[in-house]
Amino acid sequence: MKRVMGYCDRWSAAPGETVRFMVSCLDTDRYEAQLVRLRQPDAGPLATKFEPEAIAAALNGAHQGRHQPIPAGSLAAVPAHPALAPKGSFSLCAYVYATTPAKGRQALISTWCEKGQNGYALELDANAALTFRSTGTLVSTGVPLRERHWYFVAASYDADAGTMTLHQEPIAAHDFHPEHAVSVIRSIAAPTQPTHPLIFAAHADGATEHPSSWGGRAFAHHFNGRIDSPRLAAVALDRAGLAGLAATPLAAPLATVLIAAWDFSRDISGEAITDLGPHRLDGTIVNLPTRAVRGWNWDGSETNWTHAPQQYGAIHFHDDDLVDANWASDFNYTVPDDLRSGVYAVHLSTPDFDYHVVFFVVPPRGTARSKTAFLASTATYTVYLNNRGRFLSTMTERYQGRVTMMDWIDALLIEFPEMGLSTYDRHTDGTGVAYSSRHRPLQNFRPTGRHWNFNLDLFIVDFLEKLGGDYDVITEEDLHKHGYDLLKPYQVILTGSHPEYDSADMLDAFETYLRRGGRMMYMGGNGFYWRIAHHPTRDGVIEVRRAEGGVRAWDAEPGEAFHSFTGEYGGLWRRNMRAPQRLVGVGFISQGFDKCSYFRITDDAKNPRAAWMFDGVEGELLGDFGILQGGAAGLEIDAVDPKLGTPGHALVVGRSENHSNTYELVAEEVLIPHGATDAVINPDIHADITFFETGSGGAMFSTGSIAYAGSLGWNGFDNNLFRFTSNVLTRFRDPTPFPDPA
Amino acid sequence: MFRFDKTRLDLAREFRANPFGEHSPDLQYLLNIVRAPRPGPFHVLLINEAGQRWTLAMMEPGKPPKSTNVVFTGLAEAEWHIFRERWAALAGEECPLE
């Protein structure tokens, strides 16, 4: 199959701004490109026909392509320096915590070049034993490191004696594993000492003509696990001397022979690694290994790394970390001044394959071209990017209540695991993925395939197109940067179907907007649920720490609930006293994926404050039809809860019913398992369509269901949910203030 | 403890009539058994045309799906086909219901 894939460097582009596109071909060197505006998802015969609008652009047409590999795997790199190649005796030490010690050779501290077979390295050998490597030399302890256990490891080369001594010592960890410290001494030839960079957690593998994660080099033998407090001295040290080298602060007599003492507890939010030694051999992390993780000396006395960074001096490296594929760009597109705001994509195609690289054209910066904005859930899209757990886990079918669906674009993730992970996945060592980046080819940010997030949000775009297309598109990425100023020009903001992830700045912007008369239509379910942190310098890189409660694919490790990017406590916004019910009236209560249901119109609908929503709306049920599993209420659903912050004056004008067994109460609502947790017997499980005024003329409307958007276009938009939702949007566009609720 | 019972054709009939939505407690127990993760290949549906056509495929962890020549034009039909295959694996004989 001739395939093509790609990504672009920015998701939000205003007129005058340029988007760079990176493309890779598989089994072909030719592809076609066509710029299109997306107006609906590819959703089959029950939905609006999928008809992207072709847009004239210089990029359109045939292109010559080539394969661009993806340099996955994290490491830390220190540029080459003569001091890293000591001419005589030397010692190096560190604390290490291996998470897949048995996977094969893994580098710990290395100037070794695999391609050139020179330099030196401390590594784990194929038997997971600590090993010193230099040209023609291998010295191993012969004893495997235990998985997920801290060790002090050291190598000491005595040039006068011509010996290498290795030490491998388990650190006590409140358990009773029978294990002893190991030391070995062997005669060796003097290590070759070319001037190479020093790499933590990988071996350099020579220069590469392909995309490189650092320095134009390829890397091999990535380590899975943690490295803490690596140090290097120009002297052969015995065990007591090594203790001095490892000590903090460094033993004073070693000051004159110290080469480097890297302190990974510095600049945890950034990408630098700091050397406290005389040469200032600072370096950088590469491909975003996880920081703000427990170090070898973490004792549980502090769980916030900002309060005790000295206990968070470790970096956790993974062989599948990826922050940027670093592909060469193939073409650019500068947004013309007269291009309307909207959802756009470059459609890449071969005779066998279609692939869309999506981006959003926003209005000129600081302006609006409509009173209505669709807020693309770019934070949530980013967090979900390349989610493979959905179809690689056999557990999925059980909780979804239906056979897993996928397509050949999904399958790319299996064939090319180096495309990287989502924060719904686990690394190859089983640890949860805390970071996600959009700077890589993407499998689930497209108008085709399973209807979820972006693809499902195109039903909302379809709705806005049906109403005449008078809307701007703005993004959460810009919302985080610009806050309330981004929302200020708009009379009404429509969210996506699943705006699940928010930074504090994003929530503050919504709150300010609503308090100052803005109107918001929360068009989905399970929104405003998890706290996220944005990378301090890289756009489109987001962190999630899945702490404490919540429906989650993994849970944060002990002592690791605080984001490395910001130092903020992670987890559910509910655990941060900003439950979604406070902002939008409803919050996540259940999920199920086998069948969607409907809303029954409630007595609150007759309240004059809400009766206008029902002008021309027929029937007692709303949305008992739909493209997504047959109804408007489902997939992930939200309910009111006054205890969690639903305002007392909120009106619930529609409440869903008749959900299936697969709809279970969310984990945070089940403190003691009791069995009565599915929708067949638990009356708490329902979606609530909710409305309330927010003061200063503003108002909030929440659909409480992800599936809602999939019913708007049913029967060619001739249905009561479309009428009902159109009434809400029409009124929300009307500047006439809503009454003050106080 | 609920166990698979090949004589419970009433549950197979219930599933055939209503593969999605509310199920009786015993059918839900049965589905938790037939959908339990097991070693070896598992079923997935490959989307051929959105909302119209799907191909049955088998997938093993870490490997791309392998298409079969079984194509469905409805998801209820697909669920029933897969249910019967799993029933047969558990019962050691074909499910007598078509």
Summarised one tens digit per residue, pLDDT across range A632-649 is 999 999 999 999 999 999
Pairing of strands A283-286, A272-275: antiparallel
- Site from A394, A405, A628 to mutate, B interface, most B CB atoms within 10 angstroms: A394
What is the model's pLDDT at position B40? 86
Helices in A290-334 by DSSP H: which ranges? none
Residue A162 backbone zone (phi > 0: left; psi -120 to 50: alpha; other: beta): left
Cβ atoms of residues A651 and A657 within 8 Å:
no
Residues of B with CB under 8 A from a CB of A: 19-23, 28, 31-32, 35-38, 42-47, 49-52, 54, 59, 61-65, 75, 78-79, 82
Residues 6+ apart with CB under 8 A from A709: A456, A457, A459, A460, A463, A497, A523, A524, A703
Residues 6+ apart with CB under 8 A from A674: none
Query: Collapsing DSSP states into helix, strand and coil, what is residue A202?
Result: coil
Q: How many CB atoms lie within 10 A of CB A611?
A: 12
pLDDT tier at A390 (50, 70, 90 boundaries)?
confident
Contact B23 A415 (CB under 8 A): no
Query: Would the pLDDT of A677 be above 80?
Result: yes
* Phi, psi dihedral angles at A37 (to 5 degrees): -105, 130
CA B65 – CA A391 distance, rounded (Å): 10
Contact B47 A627 (CB under 8 A): no
Contact A404 B22 (CB under 8 A): no
Contact B79 A50 (CB under 8 A): no
Query: Would the pLDDT of A394 be above 80?
Result: no
Nearest to A587 by CA among A697, A478, A694, A502: A502
Please state the rounded mean pLDDT for residues A691-720.
98
A230-251 confidence digits (pLDDT tens):
999 999 999 999 999 999 888 8
Q: Is A636 exposed, middle or buried (0-12, 13-18, 19+ CB in 10 A)?
A: buried
What is the model's pLDDT at position A153? 98
CA A680 – CA A675 distance, rounded (Å): 11
Cβ atoms of residues A272 and A284 within 8 Å:
yes
Contact B51 A44 (CB under 8 A): yes
Which of these ranges, A197-201, A355-359, A546-550, has the smallest mean pLDDT?
A546-550
Instruction: Count residue pairs from A and B with Cβ separation < 8 A.
Output: 83
Please state the rounded mean pLDDT for residues A673-699.
96
- Site from A40, A403, A682 to mutate, B interface, most B CB atoms within 10 angstroms: A403
Residue of B nearest to A397 (CA): B35
Tell me the ipTM for this assembly.
Answer: 0.97
Q: What are the DSSP calls for A371-440, one per residue?
A: SEEEEE-HHHHHHHTT--HHHH-THHHHHHTS--EE-HHHHHHHH-GGG---TTSB-TTSPBP-EEESSS
Angle value at C-alpha A111, between A107 and A115, nearest 5 degrees: 80
Contact A397 B75 (CB under 8 A): no
* Phi, psi dihedral angles at A554 (to 5 degrees): -155, 165
* Encoded tokens for A446: 């497209």
Contact A414 B36 (CB under 8 A): no
What is the model's pLDDT at position A178? 87
Query: Collapsing DSSP states into helix, strand and coil, what is residue A215?
Result: coil
CA A409 – CA B47 distance, rounded (Å): 10
Buried b (16+ CB within 10 A) or exposed e, A545-577: bbbbbbbbbbbbbebbbbbbbbbbbbbbbbbee
Terminal Cα distance for chain A, rounded: 63
In a 13 Å sphere around the CA of A57, the CA atoms on its Cβ side amount to 27
Query: Collapsing DSSP states into helix, strand and coil, what is residue A266?
Result: coil
Residue keyed to tokens 């904005």: A373
- Name the residue among A43, A391, A629 with its Cβ closest to that of B50: A43
- Name the residue among B37, B63, B75 with its Cβ closest to that of A395: B37
Q: What are the DSSP calls for A330-370, one per residue?
A: EEEEEPPTTPPSEEEEEEEEETTEEEEEEEEEPPSTT--SS
Mean pLDDT, chain A, integer: 96
Contact A42 B50 (CB under 8 A): yes
Q: How many CB atoms lie within 10 A of CB A251?
A: 16
Cβ atoms of residues A330 and A308 within 8 Å:
no
Contact B20 A401 (CB under 8 A): yes
CA A651 – CA A639 distance, rounded (Å): 12
Q: Which domains does chain A have, with CATH numbers?
A: 3-68+326-358 (2.60.40), 75-317 (2.60.120.200), 359-672+693-733 (no CATH)
Distance from CA of B2 to the nearest CA of A (A): 16
Contact B51 A43 (CB under 8 A): yes
* Residues of chain A found within 8 Å of residue B54, distances taken between Cβ atoms: 405
* Residues of chain A found within 8 Å of residue B61, distances taken between Cβ atoms: 392, 394
B2-18 confidence digits (pLDDT tens):
999 999 999 999 999 99
Residue of B nearest to A42 (CA): B50
Cβ atoms of residues A722 and A716 within 8 Å:
no
